[in-house]
Amino acid sequence: MLFKIGVDVGGTFTDFLLMAENGTAEVYKVLSTPDDPSVAVLAGFQEMASRHELDLASFLARVEIIVHGTTVTTNAVLTGKVSPTGLLTTKGFRDALQMRRGIREELYNNKYRPPKPLVPRDLCFPVTERIDQTGAVVVPLDPADVEAGMALFKQRGVQAVAICFMHAYANSTHEEAVAARVHAVLPEAYLSVSTRILPQVRFYERLSTTVLNSSVGPILTHYLASLTRKLSDIGFTGILLIMQSNGGVTTPGVVMDLAASTLLSGPAAAPSAGSAYTAPHHIRSFITIDMGGTSFDTALIKDGVPAVTTSSQVNRMALALPMMEINTIGAGGGSVAWIDEGGLLRMGPQSAGAKPGPVCYGLGGVEPTCSDANLVLGYLNAEYFAGGRMKLDGRGARKAIEEKIARPLGLDVTKAAYGMYHIINVNMASAIREISVQRGYDPRDFPMVCAGGAGPIHAAMIAHELEIPKIIIPKESSIFCAAGMLLSDLKHDFVRTYHTLLGSAALDVGLFQNLIKEMEEEGRRVLLNENISEERQQFRYALDLRYLGQYHEVTVEAPLTDIRPYKEGAIKERFHEAHDRLYGYSLKQEGTPVELVNLRLTATGATDKPVFRREAFQGPDPSPWRKDRREIYLASEGGFVPVDVYDGDRMGFGNRLKGPAILEQVNTTTLVPPGWEVECDVFGSFLLTVANEER
């Protein structure tokens, strides 16, 4: 039997989905190993091999494809442990990393300092050269400056070099000439050239993105080279693909050159997984949430298309590569409870992580966390965590909450634990409002797809906060993103700057079409190199537009029928509609001119995806899977009440029940509060809806 594996390396757990060719799925979770993530990855593979009574080499010989999401680059930026990097930039602009946009993020906080640049000022080396916005050479390139910069970099032992010149997007000759010289003199250095990574207007965003790419490039290259070598030594001959932040996958070779495309790569798989699990319900618009051990990620998908942004930040540093618009906050099972200076209870963003973890793990943790509260409230089973492989310390959890939270606030332990539970739910609901209400969408119109090992305990209460009446919890929710990785296509993004006024004599339709054609050819070439035939290639087009005088653009999807032939009226109408939805108004009636800034293309290559096996109908009665009764805390009942506990792994298609109830699985637990009912769909996913009498 042949297999496919999805791997998602998280801050606390590394998740795996093993899909067999007959459609069966197996879930695995191991504790992450932050010092070397490959240790946890190989430990998971070994666990799979053991379950199938195979040695590791024999097992991997049967694996066709591994899709891997990694946090290696993200962790490097968040911790500041990046590679020593040198920057070559236009003379007079060496301080751009420190100056940023010149705007203080917290306007009324005079003490709010910008983040420390990834390249220190003395390694930002100025080069005499200048190209204007039309691409004309104003000041020729001085080779002596380039040589002096490389001598400094060699002396300081830099491992990566970034090249970013003013207006290089309009003419890349200076950057390419310097890149050739750097490659010849410093062949071992990781090299990032801004026009290869992001050939578009806005110097700071292009500069920051290029520097981010260089600073994490050697780290990602080392990790992937080590992982591929270990897999090859064991005998793996299948395909290894890496998840990107844009929601697509690509080969290790491609992603090594564009390392910044893996920042936040794991959560980007959520929309693909959500589309698969909502398909039986004919739902194309939904919100995904993923609550793991460290963070909470949420994304909105409208009509089957996830929101994408080109103005992200990683640790407050600009990243202008297209990324899934995912809102991430520090809210997970390991989120630490604390009391602020005003005496208010807070949850996160700091986390106990994998080491030492929550107090109840018994691994040395001393700070009370969300998981400790869930155990005290009865939502977690101390004897069945991770299927019984890990016993939880309820006494330790109660003691930590009592000493650090309950006693200082003058509460009993139960009320303090429920306060922790409630506050983290409110925090997560607020994160969902940011990607829905603040984008012009009503969250009540979007069913919620819940994932993450901790998510199903909190899902119904988050939905209650937002008045969302429907939740889908996949049976594989604890490794949701790992599943999404196996369902993702290869994807590459391209951009060209063409700043002009729509409807003006300055607009050159021929140039417009040629830039589109140039990106199509580049996308086709990349996909063909990844063995994607032309019939499996698809292109999506978008334009960055704004009203004359505006500073920020709106990225507007445009079908090929509006691009070729060029239909200006249809393009403008799409922009007016998008602007009205985002900001509550348009200037269509006023006749305000519309500016074009960038042209964008996304090239997608369809991959062979696993098909989840549909379950046989079991009927509505879940009583055969009832395990026992357990007291849990319900605020609506004013205390602890006994509820039925069901084996969620054995429940199946057609089973129905009304809350309150607990559905226990090996890797997660679902809380069904009073007023909610649950039904298992054809994939065994749990569909939670507000009970009829509450509607």
- Average pLDDT taken over every residue of the chain: 91
Q: Lowest-pLDDT range, 17-31, 122-136, 389-403?
A: 17-31
pLDDT at position 650: 94
Neighbouring-strand partners of residue 346:
338
* DSSP label at residue 198: -
Examine the pLDDT at 10 and tell me if it is beyond 60: yes
Q: How many CA atoms lie within 13 A of 277 on its CB side?
A: 30
Examine the pLDDT at 624 and tell me if it is beyond 60: yes
Examine the pLDDT at 695 and tell me if it is beyond 50: no
Task: Please choose, from the candidates 444, 490, 441, the residue with its C-alpha nearest in 3D space to the C-alpha of residue 463.
Answer: 444
CA angle 519, 194, 198 (to 5 degrees): 40
Report all structural domains of the chain as residue ranges with CATH numbers, in order of start.
Answer: 83-200 (no CATH), 490-605 (3.30.1490)
pLDDT at position 354: 67
DSSP for 618-660, please give it.
Answer: --S--GGGEEEEEEEEEGGGTEEEEEEEEETTT--TT-EEESS
> What are the tens digits of pLDDT across the range 116-166?
899 999 999 999 999 999 999 999 999 999 999 999 999 999 999 999 999
Identify the burial level of 177 via C-beta atoms within 10 angstroms of its C-beta, where 0-12 means exposed, 13-18 middle and 19 or more buried: middle
pLDDT at position 374: 97
Contact in structure between 8 and 14 (CB atoms under 8 Å): yes
Contact in structure between 536 and 558 (CB atoms under 8 Å): no
